[in-house]
Copies of this chain bind each other. A is one copy, B any other.
């Protein structure tokens, strides 16, 4: 299993880099960097990506930068471009001296106002021990309704389906709600009970030898780690499918995972209070992701 145990090394190292005057500038991690008027703060008006740092590098950066650009387009945010993001990433990695796994966040906000420059920055900190525990031991998940029909967001661009925005208050509230009910994570469902996504992950399940994930037309984020898993599964001759599924489908599946960049494939061992197995499939899925 990649990286397990690494993040348990003690480190409170944190790095912050700002895009300023056409260059990446590393600043002390404890130093305030954002104006109180920045719309990223006062309106959650921005987009972000969380990128896994392993072995001192960001092996899957390109997919995240592509999605960041897509989110920025959906939000009509001026993107400083690949060169700027690469410079921020390089600046963060150059100061990252610990051997532990890291989680790098790249953020782009609307800045001080429409027509003014956007704010671009990156931060890097160790992967929390709890994340590593969930990757190793699996997770208990509850399903929670978003209240929106599965086909609604594709017709309502103002709902920002498919954009990874800084407005994650509902995602965080859902995780608090799960914790109160003894669960680690959440799968959101549509009004009619279709599976959508986790607050910070993509749902993948295995049934009859096929890996399934819900359709992006539901307004969910296109998962970069799910896409990598499916590409490698296809290379390995393993069938994959984009499938509208229900909670019943998940309960009947051979295995269910919440897939994301830093936690990778977390095995769902309990769904809505019902214990479930993984039919021994998790090792193979993690193996595909580790290639």
Residues on A facing B (Cβ under 8 Å): 14, 16, 29-46, 48, 75-76, 105, 107, 109-110, 121, 123, 125, 144-149, 152-153, 156-160, 163, 165-174, 176-177, 186, 191
Contact = CB atoms under 8 A, between A and B. Distances in A.
Given A31-B35, A45-B169, A165-B169, 16 more contacts: A32-B33, A34-B35, A38-B41, A42-B123, A42-B166, A110-B172, A147-B147, A147-B148, A147-B152, A152-B191, A157-B177, A158-B173, A159-B173, A160-B170, A163-B169, A167-B169
A37 B166 contact: no
A36 B37 contact: no
A196 to B, nearest CB: 12
Contacts of A171: 43
B149 A147 contact: yes
A123 B37 contact: yes
A166 B36 contact: no
A41 B40 contact: yes
